[in-house]
Chains A and B, each alone.
Chain A
């Protein structure tokens, strides 16, 4: 049995947004009054039409930018006012699969996957083992020494996923992680995410692929439309302190 802690009537979320707004430069707000809480260990899908603001919302989560207004708490701490010096510590607890992969082109696949571990100062022996395991998981062991440019789009995406999960992050953010792979590979990658989720990682997958949503039965849906989070029942804002079967 797994039970969420309830603190003053609200879930002690791994992520909390309160009336968050985001605008780029002097433009209109691309996110408006976004409020929600993510419970630790849950699986979320973030959906919405192209341009709805999915990547923008994720970028706030992986600390690539600060919101124009509102409050964001990550791992229980306010990150809007968090000093720069403490950001790296937070980023190391988050795995990100970028929509555009962002692999380092002159590094081998293995070195790309090893990056977060080396940045965190892991022992080389541990790095080698973790990299090996991750590459096997995404089915790319045989390409360990290849450069990213020699891989297909889908293969590069799998490298990006391996890199994001290599450090066993507490929070995994994946932006269209199956956009470049066929259905079979998409299934396999979703299984990777659910296994990770089973190990306790909170997962957020942004996608507009309705096929994908059906794959994870226990997942919760976050729907963005025109910069607003649709939450008719308030379940995202105040998740019920339900008891789920572990």
Chain B
């Protein structure tokens, strides 16, 4: 069909309001999806980093007894199958850890410091319990802390947030789809008289559907452009503070290539879906005519 006939549908009746509504829906969908992906990745990253780690602390007041207990604990843990690696944390490292609180006093060799052992636990739920039992026999004064247990509430919160955000994203996708359907119906209503005329003049269903589909796709593309630009800017702003080299939390919030890929694909899917719905709406309506 010539480009001249593409003008046959009144450009001023496209339903400007619909373009705005479509843009808002897609913007919200993109944000919800970004939040879902970010939270999901965060929960996964945090879990993977911390679930297998624990720290053993020996706080006997007598330095000699403390050192002996630490040596016993280290030997016993190293021979346990529940532990994949155990490392005594050197005093220098501890001093660095407490320096922010104690200042130069941390360098005092007489300052009593606990002995710390970093553990990497074997996979499995009972590794921590086994290590605890081993310690109780070798050095009853030792206290074991699982990192996973410490951040478990945070990881759980992130997981819940991810599920909530994913559900919100799914709902927004469904709502956007519904709005696209409504927009297509409203468009058909706005152009009904013109469509009837060109149908009567011998336009085929394919011609009419093509005209209408192009119109709706263009509206959806306009909306998608606005929504994607706004959502992209908003997401980048939210993610930036965590992005470069800020450790576990940075990894948690950054969306990753796959996440950005999903977000980039959404607007295209949105426009494609709008075109498809428009086509079906008009062919359905035409099928009821002669």
Residues in B whose Cβ lies below 8 Å from that of A107:
7-8
Q: Which residues of chain A have C-beta atoms less than 8 A from B207's C-beta?
A: 119
Interface segment, one of B110-118, B158-166, B194-202, B253-261? B194-202
Q: State whether B290 touches A63 (Cβ < 8 A).
A: yes
Which of B193, B194, B197, B202 interacts with A92 by CB under 8 Å?
B202
Q: Is A45 an interface residue (CB 8 A)?
A: no
Pick from B198, B202, B203, B204 the residue with the most CB of A within 10 Å: B202
Q: Is the CB of A88 within 8 A of B1?
A: no
Contacts of B193 in A (CB 8 A): 102, 104
- 8 Å CB contacts to B: which residues of A54-75? 62-66
Bound complex: CA A127 to CA B1 (Å): 13
- With A64-B290, A66-B290, A106-B12 given, is the CB distance from A111 to B200 under 8 Å? no
* Contact B197 A124, beta carbon cutoff 8 Å: no
Name the interface residues of A107-124: CB closer than 8 Å to any CB of B. 107, 111, 114-116, 118-121, 124
Does B17 sit within 8 A of A, measured CB to CB? no
Q: Specify the chain A residue showing the minimal Cβ separation from B196.
A: A102
What residues of B have a CB within 8 angstroms of the CB of A89 in the complex?
202
Q: Quick check: A116 and B1 within 8 Å, CB to CB? A: no
**In the complex, residue of chain B having the shortest beta-carbon distance to the beta carbon of A82:** B290
CA distance A107 to B11 in the complex (A): 11
Interface string of B202-221 (1 = CB under 8 A from A): 11110100000000000000
Contact yes or no, A102 B197, CB < 8 A: yes
- In the assembled complex, the Cα of A118 lies from the Cα of B2 at a distance in Å of 7
Flag whether A149 is at the interface (Cβ < 8 A): no
Contact check, B201 vs A119: say whether CB atoms are below 8 A apart: yes
Among B194, B201, B203, B290, chain A packs the most CB atoms within 10 A around the CB of: B201
Question: Any chain A CB within 8 A of the CB of B237?
Answer: no
Q: Name the A residues within 8 Å of B7 (CB-CB).
A: 107, 111
Binary A-proximity of B2-43 (CB < 8 A = 1, otherwise 0): 101101101111000000000000000000000000000000
Does B61 interact with chain A (Cβ within 8 Å)? no
Q: Does B64 contact A (CB under 8 A)?
A: no
The reply to whether B290 and A116 form a contact with Cβ atoms under 8 Å apart is no
Most buried by A among B5, B196, B287: B5
- Which residue of A63, A66, A84, A115 has the most chain B CB atoms within 10 A of its CB atom? A115
Interface size for A (C-beta < 8 A) is 30
| Neighbouring A residues of B287 by C-beta, 8 Å | 84
Instruction: Please pick, from A65, A88, A105, A111, the residue contacting B4 in the complex, using a CB distance under 8 A.
Output: A111
> What B residues does A92 contact at CB under 8 A?
201-202
Q: Do A106 and B290 touch (CB < 8 A)? A: no
Contact B197 A115 (CB under 8 A): yes
B194 touches A91 (CB 8 A): no
Chain B, 70-91, contact with A by CB distance < 8 Å: what is the 0/1 string? 0000000000000000000000
Q: Is the CB of B197 within 8 A of A106?
A: no
Say whether B2 contacts A124, CB under 8 Å: yes
Query: A199 at the A/B interface (Cβ < 8 Å)?
Result: no
Per-position 1/0 for B129-165, Cβ under 8 A of A? 0000000000000000000000000000000000000
16 chain-A/chain-B pairs, Cβ below 8 angstroms = A85-B204, A87-B290, A90-B202, A91-B202, A92-B201, A92-B202, A96-B200, A111-B8, A114-B4, A115-B198, A115-B201, A118-B2, A119-B198, A119-B201, A121-B2, A127-B4
Q: A62-B200, A87-B290, A119-B203 are in contact. List 6 more A-B contacts (CB 8 A).
A: A64-B290, A84-B287, A88-B202, A88-B204, A103-B197, A114-B4
| A interface with B by C-beta (< 8 Å) | 62-66, 84-85, 87-92, 96, 102-107, 111, 114-116, 118-121, 124, 127
Q: Which residues of B contact A (CB under 8 A)?
A: 1-2, 4-5, 7-8, 10-13, 193-194, 196-198, 200-205, 207, 287, 290
